[in-house]
Amino acid sequence: MTVWSIDARSGERRRGFPTTGAEEVELACRRADALLPRLEEAGPQGRAALLEAMADALDHRVDALVAAADAETALGVGRLTGEVARTSGQLRLFAEVLREGAFLDVRLDAADSVRPDLRRMNIPVGVVGVFSASNFPFAFSVGGGDTASALAAGCPVIVKAHSLHPETSELTLAALREGARTAGLPAEVVQLVHGREAGTALVTHPLVRAVGFTGSIPAGRLLYDLAKSRPEPIPFYGELGSLNPLIVTPGAAARRTEEIAAGLVASVTLGAGQFCVKPGLVLAPRGDALVEAMARHFAELGPQVLLGDGIRESFEAGAGEREALPGLRVAASGRTGGDREVTARLLTGHVSALAASELLLEECFGPMTVVLAYDDEEELLHALAATPGNLTATLHSEPEEEKLAARLMAVMRARAGRLVFDAYPTGVAVGWAQQHGGPYPATTEPSTTSVGTAAIFRFLRPVVYQNCPTHLLPEALRDDNPWRLPRRVNGELTLP
Amino acid sequence: MTVWSIDARSGERRRGFPTTGAEEVELACRRADALLPRLEEAGPQGRAALLEAMADALDHRVDALVAAADAETALGVGRLTGEVARTSGQLRLFAEVLREGAFLDVRLDAADSVRPDLRRMNIPVGVVGVFSASNFPFAFSVGGGDTASALAAGCPVIVKAHSLHPETSELTLAALREGARTAGLPAEVVQLVHGREAGTALVTHPLVRAVGFTGSIPAGRLLYDLAKSRPEPIPFYGELGSLNPLIVTPGAAARRTEEIAAGLVASVTLGAGQFCVKPGLVLAPRGDALVEAMARHFAELGPQVLLGDGIRESFEAGAGEREALPGLRVAASGRTGGDREVTARLLTGHVSALAASELLLEECFGPMTVVLAYDDEEELLHALAATPGNLTATLHSEPEEEKLAARLMAVMRARAGRLVFDAYPTGVAVGWAQQHGGPYPATTEPSTTSVGTAAIFRFLRPVVYQNCPTHLLPEALRDDNPWRLPRRVNGELTLP
């Protein structure tokens, strides 16, 4: 079997890659498991050097990487060049996390007359399987956040390449492996498999101890169910789908009509609307001004090439189904293009349409959003409460609307992991405070994040040493703190 | 339907409690969900006062609580009195956690030319369902660790009472509710349901956002599967079963024969062998001395009353099946008692018996352990590696065996969450550094703990506020740090 690299703009086959057979997956898992001690021996310092060497190798190869990704995804050279920088920056950030050491969460409780000596730290969970995302060929793919945080934790990684960018995946793999060699570690700390069956085999393999996934609800839930029905279930960190409601209060709609219209349309159509944090549902007060302003921006949009045929077909079907719903109308369309291009669309209606169809509460990937009008606060709160779990919820309000804002924030917080104020949800900064995850189906494990430094905790588990003789203690747990770690000593947080 | 409080020693019915119907469970879930804002408004200080008032109420009622629990479980007044103290101490420890504030994991990233202002903190997940354990009527039941950590997190709790101690459960509930009223909070922050169907209804109710469970593998896996197959799956923090292997090296067996024999038998038979951390498999060098010393201690043991009829029948069946395995023999038995009592048993054989039957790798609840002899290091390592996930793994070794110890520790760490040295696994100290959890089936989520202060993280999830106007910011995230929290500011950990 062959996975074909397809030119997203022309639909032509560029190059084939053989799918990975069951025996090869088996071999990859054993090889990865055997490398677990190597990553651990490298220690936080050695793994920091590994991540930095990988980042350098990606940056050195940026032109070839971007060229392949642009052909395979049509996301454009500018955006993709930025994404490579974001990806290498992410690897370097996890190097900082390793050097700082709080990720080990060292806790020491001294013995007393009744208690034993207890020394606790985090250890890697084992081999990690990573599923690449279609829409981020770098930042959420072979060398992306899941891989960076798993390697940082000390876990060898096996990536399932996304079928829409197999060549980009192979080129990224080569860069990561060059980095590993530079750092004096085996190239196989990251491995790559192609094909759906190889992906399934990864999730069910006894040596795979955790999975990171970014993709659609149907594919994600299928793999989630596999992970949870194993004889020994494993954590499945899946980012599945998000509607990302954006609320415009009466005050904001009146005072910032044009500004919000322009910002919102830019956010909805960024990357041809193929962002997991695209605002797919806008709740705005009844009145024509905001929709009319948005419509003017939509009318100026050119036709857009999506990531692949399947995604284009899903968008056309999804947009069509929504347009046909009673009470909904197309307020504006972008310019129409060729067979392989889609037309951006703005749909409007009243919040009462939410009661008529579940469809409006589902994500529709692509350059489209739905603006629903509310008549009063209760309708607004009711509509917001009806949304499923989200990665983000956004509020545009004015200072004098504090009481309404507080009511809305309580619901937003219950429904999302990131609350955005007077801005737009697209653009997820990679940093120490970021949270990318929210109630299901946004993510399958809402208490974790897939972006930002806290992502490392997904691939660690704690172990405590009770009365361990000094000569057998891991360095990180020694009294003299040779690694200069932040630690909790007898309950008190201490800095080195 | 009625759940009967049974006298464990006589088998007589003491008192009946009606099972909770589906409508009552529905009502309990709605009531609990409605109390979420109340627990949040109380803040960490208010919830600390709540937990302390609950602890005081338990301590004041200790005599009545212990009398009921002793009748229902036969665990004895001394042990049960200690368990009440452990339980109230645990509630007070979580009050300390709340006052210290690190559980909020506040992270602030300031805005710069390209990044927004991000402020992240933990919030409660929502209503928590707790399943009581048979073997800890206080510490892992109505007012136990799951309830304490969930309330600390700000989550209202609904407890499924264990059918072996319904009266103890009701008395504990009354104490907790008295505490809630003293603290000025609604009594219904903890609710209680009886009956298996009510338990199932809890796990599948949309308003229940996480479950804590301590019990058997079959019951736990059934509920785990329910939690994971919901339309919106939820975390299921289950402690299911653990073999707790204990290794005696040749050096330790030679030098500390009598000491280890005495300690091990005491650990195996503590609480009539009904501890989740009972050492159920001992790996010892070939030779008769250790087994003979253990046999002398076993022969002195009196007959034992187990927690209930079902547990006694399971023990008799499980011990019988193991005795009948080829290559295994009964090295010693305790004294025999009446129909309602069981006889403690010591089984021995060679590690090769592990290859013949999976049964020796499964937990057998009750006063019994299996000592398997190994001939060399490789046999020992191979046998240890064959064990499933465990809560604990214990090593008795001598200083000159450092190399062997290091090899064993690597396998122990991969198989368990707590590594015990030259001591015994029973007795789980409640503190800041404790870890009670390990690879499946020991626990369903090995990266979490059900004992110790880190248990609170099971019932929290992070939310980040992006560009939030100052007047809308939660107090915990304000620049001036009014709650004096430890925080990570622009990547740097800072103490108040």
Q: Note the pLDDT of residue B141.
A: 98
The per-residue pLDDT for range B236-282, each reduced to its tens digit, is: 999 999 999 999 999 999 999 999 999 999 999 999 999 999 999 99
Which one of the listed residues A52, A170, A178, A239 is annotated catalytic? A239
Amino acid at A408: L
- Active site (annotated) includes residue A276: yes
Q: Looking at the predicted structure, is the pLDDT value of residue A440 above 90?
A: yes
Distances (CA, A) of B475 to B43, B471, B483: 10, 10, 7
The per-residue pLDDT for range B118-146, each reduced to its tens digit, is: 999 999 999 999 999 999 999 999 999 99
Q: Kindly report the average pLDDT of chain A as a whole number.
A: 97
**Pairing state between β A416-421 and B460-466:** parallel
The per-residue pLDDT for range B342-369, each reduced to its tens digit, is: 999 999 999 999 988 889 999 999 999 9
- Active site (annotated) includes residue B170: no
Neighbours of B266 (CB within 10 A): 12
Q: Which of B125, B228, B431 sits opposite A115 (nearest CB)?
A: B431
Q: Note the pLDDT of residue B177.
A: 98
Residues 6+ away with beta carbon under 8 Å from A279: A244, A245, A246, A264, A267, A268, A369, A392, A394, A424, A425, A426
Q: Note the pLDDT of residue A9.
A: 97
Phi, psi (5° rounding) for residue B334? -80, -175
Contacts of A432 in chain B (CB under 8 A): 107, 109, 488, 490-491
Q: Note the pLDDT of residue A196.
A: 97
Q: Kindly report the average pLDDT of chain B as a whole number.
A: 97
In a 10 Å sphere around its CB, with 0-12 CB exposed, 13-18 middle and 19+ buried, how is residue B329 labelled?
Answer: exposed
For residues A449 and A430, the answer to whether their CB atoms sit within 8 Å is no
**Average pLDDT, integer, range A27-49:** 98
For residues B378 and B360, the answer to whether their CB atoms sit within 8 Å is no
pLDDT band for position A363 (cuts 50, 70, 90): very high
**Smallest CA–CA distance from B402 into chain A, residue:** A472
**Average pLDDT, integer, range A125-143:** 98
Cα distance between residue A73 and residue A70, in whole Å: 5
CB contact under 8 A, B469 and A441: no
Q: Note the pLDDT of residue A279.
A: 98
Q: Which of A119, A418, A495 sits opposite B464 (nearest CB)?
A: A418
Q: Note the pLDDT of residue A356.
A: 85
Q: Looking at the predicted structure, is the pLDDT value of residue B455 above 90?
A: yes
Helix (H) / strand (E) containing B254: helix B250-255
CB contact under 8 A, B421 and A96: no
CB contact under 8 A, A491 and B432: yes
Q: Which of B417, B421, B472 sits opposite A462 (nearest CB)?
A: B417
Q: Looking at the predicted structure, is the pLDDT value of residue A254 above 90?
A: yes
Which one of the listed residues A29, A155, A276, A364 is annotated catalytic? A276
Q: Looking at the predicted structure, is the pLDDT value of residue A357 above 90?
A: no
Q: Note the pLDDT of residue B357.
A: 87
**Pairing state between β B127-131 and B390-396:** unpaired
Amino acid at A359: L
If you search the block for the tokens 């048993």, which residue do you land on? B345
The per-residue pLDDT for range A385-396, each reduced to its tens digit, is: 999 999 999 999
Residues 6+ away with beta carbon under 8 Å from A490: A108, A109, A110, B432
**Average pLDDT, integer, range A428-449:** 97
Buried b (16+ CB within 10 A) or exposed e, A291-315: bebbbebbeebebbbbbbeebbebb
Task: Give the pair of three-digit tokens for residue A94.
Answer: 């996890």
The per-residue pLDDT for range B170-217, each reduced to its tens digit, is: 999 999 999 999 999 999 999 999 999 999 999 999 999 999 999 999
The proportion of chain A whose per-residue pLDDT surpasses 90, expressed as a percent, equals 99
pLDDT band for position B165 (cuts 50, 70, 90): very high
Domains and CATH numbers, chain B: 2-240+443-463+472-477 (3.40.605.10), 245-421 (3.40.309.10)
Buried b (16+ CB within 10 A) or exposed e, B361-395: ebbbbbbbbbbbbbeebebbbebbebbbbbbbbbb
Query: What residue ranges in A195-260 does DSSP mark as E strands?
Result: 208-214, 236-239, 245-248
The per-residue pLDDT for range A74-120, each reduced to its tens digit, is: 999 999 999 999 999 999 999 999 999 999 999 999 999 889 999 99
For residues B93 and B436, the answer to whether their CB atoms sit within 8 Å is no
pLDDT band for position B155 (cuts 50, 70, 90): very high
**Average pLDDT, integer, range A350-375:** 95
- The alpha-carbon gap from A333 to the nearest alpha carbon of chain B, in Å, equals 31
Q: Looking at the predicted structure, is the pLDDT value of residue A414 above 90?
A: yes
